[in-house]
Amino acid sequence: MSKKFLYSLMAALVLTAIVLTACGAPATQAPAATEAPAATEAPAATEAPAATEAPAAKEQVEVFSWWTGGGEAAGLEAMIKVFNAEYPDIEFINAAVAGGAGTNARAVLATRLQAGEPPDSWQGHAGQELIGTYVAGGQIEPLNALYEEEGWLDVMPETLIPLISDSGNIYSVPVNIHRANVLWYNPTILKENNIEVPTTMEEWFAAMDKLTAAGVTPLALGEQWTQMHLLETVLLGSLGAEAYNGLWDGTTDWSGPEVKAALDNYAKILNYTNSDAASLSWQDAAQLVVNGDAAFNVMGDWAEGYFRELGKVPMTDYGWAPVPGSVGVFQFLSDSFTLAVNAPHPEGAKAWLKIAGSKAGQEAFNPVKGSICARTDCDKTLFGEYLQSAMDDWASNVVVGSLTHGVVANDSWKSEIDTALGLFIADKNVETFQAALAAACASSGPCK
Ligand code: GAL
């Protein structure tokens, strides 16, 4: 990861307004139903009364994520298996809430946090989502002691630690590295139409014009968060890594001509997509490519976990390349797990975090999930062709952060961008969109 990138992110961490303090967990909390009753409480009817001691309840851990299907659940299950083998006496409660990118899950989580009923551990993205939301809200515990105990500082990428740290405290355990700027394509469709995999925006437009003329849907698209995902990759592909980073640290002018040109590209790209995008999940959209119903889809590499779950074959049923214009750049995100303040089962949570940070846990999880390990010591041979290429790119490319998946903007800024995007999808007015994005940076980002 380039130093420049890191400095940009650190600057963003410092400069971005911190909000959402209202979501802080209250100081006191009712014990969870499964906890041992306190000495003064009446024992439950089915429990043997013990005069001096509360009856022992089985230790538990409730883990919250949005990994419920499409390769994601299978990855989680693989890690739970490692957990169960290591901690047979701790019951694992899988509290996953369906919906790609956590759009539904994060709303449920916010409600639970407000009510003082946190899950023991939840999935949070390294970067601004973690620091600007959960740390700022006082909702998660520092994990420095666990890092020391487990020797994680020796095996986690040095460059990732600042994105999960605040004032010397480390706040989460990263399980993976995902890549956002992947263009998935159907090799047969490209071949039939005599199209080379595009590497620039111009080549991409030419390819999509050709596909349109041939009656093929050029680009599969899904619901709104996937449209933000497409937007961030087109901003990167149009602006390049340096100016893209500048969007998040205030050095690129959101009102300037470069951003206008990038948004024009985005507007143009939307013309090549399926008309039912709003009603499709990311899996539905990705599936159009492997089923031969569309030529391209832009999605993070969790799509690869899904393609494998569908029994699809790499380079036959699907191929991959960086989103045009972003060759040599790795737009990353990292899923990480937290320890809740007032976690009902802190011991269970720590046991879970140990597995999430372990070599065995990450080697079980990532090849299925479609991500590479956050740890630097995983066995490369466990991974398929695509993920091996992602490992090479992660090690050699310029690294930038994802917007949609929590790295570069905190929740309030991201939500203003999302509102602007929703209006743009409806009215397709680039000038209004650009003005709204500039206003969002001024109100919640570093563009004061
Ligand atoms: C991302 C998450 C990925 C994957 C994706 C689609 O936000 O980091 O692990 O779950 O959403 O649901």
pLDDT, tens digit (0-9, with 9 covering 90-100), for 299-346: 999 999 999 999 999 999 999 999 999 999 999 999 999 999 999 999
Lookup: tokens for 15: 């400069």
| Ligand 1 atom having least distance to the Cα of 404 | 7
38 dihedral zone (left: phi>0; alpha: psi -120 to 50; beta):
beta
Mean pLDDT across 53-82:
90
Q: Is 11's pLDDT higher than 90?
A: no
Instruction: Classify domain 59-177+334-401 at the CATH class level.
Output: alpha beta
| Predicted local distance difference test score (pLDDT) of residue 15 | 39
Mean pLDDT across 242-249:
98
Q: Whose CA is nearest to atom 4 of ligand 1?
A: 101
Mean pLDDT across 234-241:
98
Q: Is the CB of 405 under 6 A from ligand 1?
A: yes
Q: Is the CB of 335 under 6 A from ligand 1?
A: yes
pLDDT, averaged across the chain: 90
pTM for the full predicted model: 0.89
Tell me how far the alpha carbon of residue 200 lies from the centroid of ligand 1, in angstroms: 26
| Predicted local distance difference test score (pLDDT) of residue 58 | 81
Q: Is 108's pLDDT higher than 80?
A: yes
- Amino acid at residue number 258: E
| Ligand 1 atom having least distance to the Cα of 72 | 10
Tell me how far the alpha carbon of residue 412 lies from the centroid of ligand 1, in angstroms: 19
Starting at the earlier edge strand, list the strands of the sheet with 217-220. 217-220, 294-298, 182-185, 319-322
Tell me how far the alpha carbon of residue 333 lies from the centroid of ligand 1, in angstroms: 9
| Predicted local distance difference test score (pLDDT) of residue 27 | 32
pLDDT tens digits for range 143-196: 999 999 999 999 999 999 999 999 999 999 999 999 999 999 999 999 999 999
Task: Give the strand pairing for 217-220 and 294-298.
Answer: parallel
Q: Whose CA is nearest to atom 2 of ligand 1?
A: 101
Q: pLDDT over 70 for what percent of the chain?
A: 87
Q: Is 5's pLDDT higher than 70?
A: no
| Ligand 1 atom having least distance to the Cα of 405 | 7
Q: Is the CB of 304 under 6 A from ligand 1?
A: no
Tell me how far the alpha carbon of residue 300 lies from the centroid of ligand 1, in angstroms: 8
Q: Whose CA is nearest to atom 8 of ligand 1?
A: 335
Tell me how far the alpha carbon of residue 255 lies from the centroid of ligand 1, in angstroms: 30
Q: Using CA atoms, how far apart are residues 43 and 41, in angstroms rounded to an integer?
A: 6
Mean pLDDT across 387-393:
98
Contact 309, 303 (CB under 8 A): no
Q: Is the CB of 177 under 6 A from ligand 1?
A: no
pLDDT tens digits for range 365-378: 999 999 999 999 99
Q: Is the CB of 178 under 6 A from ligand 1?
A: yes
Q: Using CA atoms, how far apart are residues 321 and 190, in angstroms rounded to an integer?
A: 13
Q: Is the CB of 9 under 6 A from ligand 1?
A: no
Q: Is the CB of 102 under 6 A from ligand 1?
A: yes
Query: Start-end ranges of CATH 3.40.190.10 in the chain?
Result: 59-177+334-401, 182-332+411-444
At residue 55 the predicted structure's pLDDT band, cuts being 50, 70 and 90, is low
Beta-bridged to residue 337, according to DSSP, are 123, 173
Tell me how far the alpha carbon of residue 212 lies from the centroid of ligand 1, in angstroms: 30
Angle (deg, nearest 10), helices 72-86 and 359-369: 160
- CATH architecture of the domain formed by 182-332+411-444: 3-Layer(aba) Sandwich (3.40)
Mean pLDDT across 109-132:
98
At residue 240 the predicted structure's pLDDT band, cuts being 50, 70 and 90, is very high
Helix (H) or strand (E) holding 176: strand 176-179
Q: Is the CB of 72 under 6 A from ligand 1?
A: yes
Mean pLDDT across 129-141:
97
Q: Whose CA is nearest to atom 10 of ligand 1?
A: 101
pLDDT tens digits for range 193-219: 999 999 999 999 999 999 999 999 999
Q: Is 401's pLDDT higher than 80?
A: yes
- Amino acid at residue number 65: S
- Amino acid at residue number 73: A
Helix spans in 43-89 (H): 72-86
Phi, psi of 373 (to 5 degrees): -65, 145
| Predicted local distance difference test score (pLDDT) of residue 37 | 34
Q: Is the CB of 332 under 6 A from ligand 1?
A: no
- Compute CA 123 distance to the chain's CA centroid, rounded to the nearest angstrom: 9
| Predicted local distance difference test score (pLDDT) of residue 448 | 76
* Close Cβ partners of 327 (under 8 Å, ≥ 6 residues apart): 199, 321
Q: Is 33's pLDDT higher than 50?
A: no
Mean pLDDT across 68-90:
96
| Predicted local distance difference test score (pLDDT) of residue 18 | 34
Q: Is 38's pLDDT higher than 70?
A: no
Pocket test for ligand 1, best of 178, 298, 306 (most atoms within 8 A of CB): 178
At residue 22 the predicted structure's pLDDT band, cuts being 50, 70 and 90, is very low
Mean pLDDT across 272-285:
98
| Predicted local distance difference test score (pLDDT) of residue 114 | 97
Q: Is the CB of 127 under 6 A from ligand 1?
A: no
| Predicted local distance difference test score (pLDDT) of residue 71 | 87
